[in-house]
Amino acid sequence: MKMNKIFVACDTVNISKVKEIIKKTQNNKIKVGYKFGLEFLNSKYGRNFLLKLRNKTTFVDLKLHDIPNTCISTIKAIKDLRPDYLTIHISSGLNALKVCKKNSGKTKLTGVTILTSLNNKALKEIGFNKQLEKLVYHQAKLAKKANLDAIVCSPQEVKIVKKVFNKEIITPGIRLSSNNNDQKRVLTPKQAYKNGSDWLVIGRPITKGNIKKNILSLIDHLS
C-alpha cells in the first residue's frame, strides 16, 4: 500500500522547536519531510542547521521570483544545503524556469502556482483578469514545458493540474478543521489525497500544541 507523505512546515526560527518537531513527528505510518522557508534560512542559526541536517527529506520553500540570473545565483548559493525540493514561482516566466531547472542538479525544482492565501477577488485586485482555475491550468502547462519536477498548488486545483502535469504535486492549504486562518483555498488531508496530491504541507495543525497527539490525529483521520 502506498504510504501517505507530508511535509511539516517548520515556520519558526527557534532551533529547539524545530528539533522538537522533527523528533516528535517520527513514525512508521506516514512519510514525513520538513519544509523550511526564507525566514528560517535567513535566521541566525537556520542555514547552519540545514547544512547539518541529514537523512531527512527537505523542502526549501524560497519561492524564487526574480530575473533568471538572480534565480540561478540563489540556486548556486544554497547548493551546499542539498535540498530535496526548492520552489520557484511559475510566474517568473518560462525562460527563468528552464535555466533554473538546468542549474538545479539533483534538487527537484518545484513550481509554485497561485498562493493559497489568494482567491479570485484578490487576483483581480492585483491585475489578473483570468479566473483562478484558468491561471493555474496555464501555469501547469508552463511547468510541464520547462520540465519542472513538481508543482505546488492548492488541493482544490490538483485535478486541474493533473490534466497537463504528470509529476509530483505538493499541496499546502491543509486543515483538519474548519479554521482556515489566512488561507482561502483549503481541504482536509483525506480530501487532498483523494484529489491526487502526492505530498501535503501541514504546519500549525501539527506544530501547534501537542505534536505527537496531532500526528496521531492525522494518522487516524487518514485511516
The residues carrying an active-site annotation are 63
Angle formed by the axes of helices 211-222 and 15-24, nearest 10°: 40
For residue 134, what is its C-alpha cell? 484558468
Q: Which residues pair with 27 in a beta bridge?
A: none
- Amino acid 16 reads S
CA distances from 197 to 50, 59, 148 (A): 26, 16, 16
For residue 42, what is its C-alpha cell? 535567513
Exposed/middle/buried for residue 5 (C-beta within 10 Å: 0-12, 13-18, 19+) = middle
Taken in order 81, 32, 111, 37, is the CA torsion positive or negative? negative
What's the rounded Cα separation, in Å, for the pair 63 and 41?
A: 12
